[in-house]
Structure 1
């Protein structure tokens, strides 16, 4: 009897954990969609606080929040999200043509299909000399902000890289400048900790052609 009682308690605890993780993931997805939060950690913490859930064991994985975000878009943004995504992919293609000398690769929400009105066009550019990109922006009178970003190259190692931010057609452009040798080694995704999916200009052109057929 005691064993059955313990098993029942364990099953109940597992179900409760799943339910709470789901609640936090759904709320985090709503916050990301409506408030433009793009930091998964911040979104899940804020969602948990909103729901009054503070146990670490109930915090969902980033992949769970990503799945909830896509579900939220299907349910509440079916009429607008596809157009927003298409618009950003077209802007991404123009940007990739402009930065062709830097072997651009599209990454993030605009590539994976989850982009919305808050999403930036995120490109990885490649050069061993940051001044070449700065000169290109300056020569074309493109005002930009410069930041830095840590990216994980393996599960144990991370490094800091320069980021350049500006807008085109009222859409944010986010450029991360990486050394040339990282053309062959994509940083790890914050969603599933696997190498980021990246698309060349040719791959994006094919993706856009598929949508217009």
Structure 2
């Protein structure tokens, strides 16, 4: 027999339950990917991957609520420390027109978050040479796409530790500056990047 479709009220309740469970997984277990958190939360509640999965925006609302309720002081202190560290890293990488992105920018950074910077260079090798010349250790986590491919895709991603926090440097071709950063939540192109001046302004106004 075909599976019966749940009534709308039950569907809405399940969506909210999955969003809440996914937010807890992101806040407490360090799952940084919205899709992975939603799928794990759905399985934990006995639902399938395609059953009433909430949007990323719905999960973010629950994540902010969870952090405010259970991690407020810790999260605010960590967010400020990460933004201060990100600003110092941006100043060090100023030759590559860095932009802050990700959870440290949008304010949802938690215990397991990384500082995420977008850099723009003629080649990822330019950034690697810059780091090597200053004896800054790093790892290549993703080779990405050659620079002649789509400008909105990173050529490489480098990981390093800066201060007390891990950082990920996504290196885009110069033309990538003209492309809006796609939101990790909605997938839409939007203002998902901030220059050093904007990060300094965030620090001046608080979390």
Q: Evaluate the alpha carbon distance shift between residue 34 and residue 81 of structure 1 in structure 2; reply closer, same or farther with a 3 A threshold.
A: same
d(CA) in 1 for partners of 2:54, 2:126: 41
Would the alpha carbon gap of residues 92 and 125 (structure 1) be closer, same or farther in structure 2, given more than 3 Å must change?
Answer: same
CA distance in 2, matches of 1:36, 1:99: 27
Q: Which residue of 2 aligns with 1:35?
A: 29
Q: 1 CA distance for matches of 2:201 and 2:17?
A: 37
Contact kept in structure 1, 2:90 and 2:196, CA below 8 Å = yes
After superposition, the C-alpha distances for 1:124-183 in whole angstroms (9 at most, x for unaligned) are 0001211110011111212211122879xxxxx974531000112220111000011111
What stretches of structure 2 of length at least 5 have no aligned partner?
146-150
Match of 1:203 in 2: 198
The 8 Å contact of residues 96 and 104 in structure 1, kept in 2 or not, is answered as yes
Distance 1:165 1:96, change over 3 A: same
Shift of 1:210: 1.9
Q: Which residue of 1 aligns with 2:53?
A: 59
- Residue 190 (structure 1) aligns with: 184
> Partner residue of 1:94?
88
Distance 2:153 2:96 in 1: 20
CA contact (8 A) 2:152 2:172 kept: no
Give the structure-1-normalised TM-score: 0.86
- Provide TM-score, normalisation by structure 2: 0.88
Aligned pair in 2 of structure 1 residues 186, 158: CA closer, same or farther (>3 Å)?
closer
For residues 68 and 89 of structure 2, the distance between their equivalents in structure 1, rounded to whole angstroms, comes to 28
Counterpart of 1:60 in 2: which secondary structure? coil
Residue of structure 2 aligned with 1:122, choices 104, 116, 120: 116
Partner of 1:56: helix, strand, or coil?
A: coil
CA drift of 1:211 comes to 2.3
Partner of 1:154: none
The aligned counterpart of 1:174 is 168
Aligned-residue Cα RMSD (Å) equals: 2.2
Residue 207 of structure 1: how far off its partner (Å): 1.4
Structure 1: gaps (5+ residues): 1-9, 152-156
Find the counterpart in structure 2 of residue 21 from structure 1: 15
Shift of the alpha carbon at 1:16?
Answer: 0.9
Offset at residue 54 of structure 1 (A): 1.4
> SS of 1:79's equivalent?
helix
Look at both structures and tell me which one has the larger radius of gyration over its CA atoms: 1
